[in-house]
Chains A and B, each alone.
Chain A
């Protein structure tokens, strides 16, 4: 009996809660558990403290960088004295973000995120009188290996805020986010094949423009300022139109602050398959 007692005490020495055998493997396991817990607590604590998990950070659930292994390349197109611009963007597949915020002397800046430098799009620019034209065209998958077809192809485009711009955005497949509230548009053409598209006019105080939005398959969200003079004509294929607060008049949607006596920004939307969301902001 006396020989059994030390063994019993040894068994329960590790802790009152964990009455496990105090053997070498047990100690290793407990050490590993402790290391894992402490490491994760400190690691995620650092991330939380640095704001990486905040809602605006865009990395809500992962400690990994979204741009891991992705090379970025920024190209700037100066105004060269132009007072207006034509911007044409043509992407085969990927993700486009277009908004204001280019440097004062630039018509636009493009940052391309991709896995290899040779996948950069083709650029062309010309100046005719006081109008600068810039074209950004995807070279397609011809230069990409078979294993890279689904790899990242993201273009972040920043346009000049003060210069009147005619924008033409075409995307075959992928998501498209156009935040145009700070821009001064003269026209807008958007052609999207498949994917979700968000076009945000929140805060728009630029000149009058006409917009044509041809959307194939996917959801389309239009954010229209409540006080803006916008009129949206919709030809809807298969899918619902979700929108509250808009006034439907002769097949066109207008926000509550619409005034026909003032210049009207006309938006024509043709939607194939998917939900059209009209959001008043």
Chain B
């Protein structure tokens, strides 16, 4: 049970220190202080104000998730999106299904495309060399039905591999942006601000 405003502010500070920049944190805390001050001026009790704001732990989680998602939106990086996803997971257990599962599936898909691309990119030149060896009459390396066709097909395989790697980059960017929008929507739904 919270005792007073100072304790509420202290818990918020403890939970958000290190996540938000010091300046932003102070701004945020002063907003809350102002909220308390205006509430009291209106004749509302501290208990009533606590109830309207929600517990400081939950409020800190929501602020943290919102901040990390925004950070990931402004600075694209694996680390930022990972932190944003983890912070969003903390908002509710059901996000294991609605956030973590799609996130892991996306990573698996992108990894699969990337690995396939790398394999094609490496196999292509190797197959090209074997086609040349086959043309030179080395039967032990006869992996192609036709070495001449093998030369062209291995070039094609290499090009497909490079396309997969490049495509994977753009796919990752697309899903990154889509993921950010999804996380923001998810936070809005959970915090009840979806229609605001």
Q: Which of B3-11, B90-98, B137-145 is near enough to bind chain A?
A: B137-145
**Interface residues of A, count at CB 8 A:** 26
Q: Which of A37-45, A136-144, A195-203 is near enough to bind chain B?
A: A37-45
Residue of A nearest to B151 (CB): A43
Q: Flag whether A35 is at the interface (Cβ < 8 A).
A: yes
Known: A39-B153, A40-B152. A46 touches B146 (CB 8 A): yes
Interface centre among B142, B143, B149, B166 (most CB of A within 10 A): B149
Please report the C-alpha to C-alpha distance between residue A50 and residue B148 in the assembled complex, in whole angstroms. 11
Known: A40-B156, A64-B143, A65-B144. A33 touches B149 (CB 8 A): no
Question: B149 and A35: CB pair below 8 A?
Answer: no
Binary contact readout A43-80 vs B (1 if CB under 8 angstroms, 0 otherwise): 11011001010000001001111011101000000000
Which residues from B are CB-within-8-Å of A69?
Answer: 140, 143
Question: Shortest beta-carbon distance, B33 to chain A, in Å?
Answer: 49
Known: A28-B166, A29-B166, A32-B166. A47 touches B145 (CB 8 A): yes
Question: Taking chain B's interface residues, is the majority helix, strand, or loop, or is none over half, making it mixed?
Answer: helix
Question: A36 and B149: CB pair below 8 A?
Answer: no
Binary contact readout A111-123 vs B (1 if CB under 8 angstroms, 0 otherwise): 0000000000000
Question: A65 and B159: CB pair below 8 A?
Answer: no
Question: Shortest beta-carbon distance, A118 to chain B, in Å?
Answer: 16
Q: Flag whether A129 is at the interface (Cβ < 8 A).
A: no
Question: B145 and A63: CB pair below 8 A?
Answer: yes
Known: A25-B166, A71-B140. A50 touches B146 (CB 8 A): yes
Q: Flag whether B162 is at the interface (Cβ < 8 A).
A: yes
Binary contact readout B54-75 vs A (1 if CB under 8 angstroms, 0 otherwise): 0000000000000000000000
Which residues from B are CB-within-8-Å of A36?
Answer: 156, 159-160, 163
Known: A65-B143, A65-B144, A68-B142. A43 touches B149 (CB 8 A): yes
Q: Flag whether B150 is at the interface (Cβ < 8 A).
A: yes
Please report the C-alpha to C-alpha distance between residue A144 and residue B140 in the assembled complex, in whole angstroms. 20
Binary contact readout A4-39 vs B (1 if CB under 8 angstroms, 0 otherwise): 000000000000000000000100110011011101
Question: A68 and B146: CB pair below 8 A?
Answer: no
A-B contact pairs, 17 of them (CB 8 A): A28-B166, A36-B159, A36-B163, A39-B155, A42-B149, A43-B151, A43-B153, A44-B149, A46-B146, A46-B149, A46-B152, A47-B146, A63-B145, A63-B149, A63-B150, A68-B142, A69-B143
Interface contacts beyond A36-B163, A39-B152, A68-B143: sample of 16 additional A-B pairs, CB < 8 Å, sorted by A: A25-B166, A29-B163, A29-B166, A32-B162, A35-B155, A35-B159, A36-B156, A42-B152, A43-B156, A46-B148, A46-B152, A63-B149, A63-B150, A65-B144, A67-B142, A68-B142
